[in-house]
């Protein structure tokens, strides 16, 4: 607030509100695990990316820009995301380990990859890489 960083303030308020909602949810207890907090942050980023897509389709660059700014701030609190080359290498290793050779094993590969790459890569990105590697 003192730095007059409006975009940072908006993003931090959103993070705080989401964490407080999760803490006060029925049956949540009084504290959240680090994994639960990471999932909340990932959810916030995903929501904003979806909003950016919608705003850009509707030619609302002003609103899309605000969402992009918030994504930048929230991502500072998430682990570094894997780039596409690293993601392909890891997914290829998972496919090799599981012995999957066709697209019919997509669910099996996605299950292992999602658990192993949780917090390090977006589910859509993982899915795209798995499909690309499994289709002939």
**Same-domain status, 92 and 111:** yes
100 and 123 housed in the same domain? yes
Contact 15, 70 (CB under 8 A): no
Higher pLDDT, 69 or 7: 69
Number of compact structural domains in the chain: 2
Do 65 and 115 share a domain, yes or no? Answer: no
CB burial of 23-46 (b: ≥16 within 10 Å; e: otherwise) equals eeeeeeeeebeeeebbebbbebbe
What is the per-residue pLDDT across 47-103, written as a single tens digit (0 to 9) for each?
999 999 999 999 999 999 999 999 999 988 888 888 888 989 999 999 888 888 888
Is the pLDDT confidence value at 27 over 80?
A: no
Q: What is the mean pLDDT of residues 3-25?
A: 87
**pLDDT for res 84:** 86
123 contacts: CB under 8 Å, gap ≥ 6: 114
């Amino acid at each position: 607030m003192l730095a007059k960083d409006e975009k940072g303030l908006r993003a931090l308020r959103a993070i705080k509100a989401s964490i407080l909602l999760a803490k006060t949810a029925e049956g949540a207890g009084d504290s959240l695990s680090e994994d639960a907090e990471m999932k909340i942050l990932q959810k916030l980023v995903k929501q904003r990316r979806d909003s950016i897509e919608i705003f850009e389709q509707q030619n609302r660059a002003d609103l899309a820009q605000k969402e992009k700014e918030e994504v930048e701030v929230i991502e500072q609190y998430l682990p570094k995301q894997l780039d596409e080359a690293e993601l392909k290498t890891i997914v290829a290793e998972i496919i090799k380990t599981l012995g999957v050779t066709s697209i019919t094993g997509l669910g099996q590969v996605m299950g292992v990859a999602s658990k192993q790459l949780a917090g390090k890569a977006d589910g859509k990105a993982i899915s795209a890489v798995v499909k690309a590697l499994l289709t002939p």
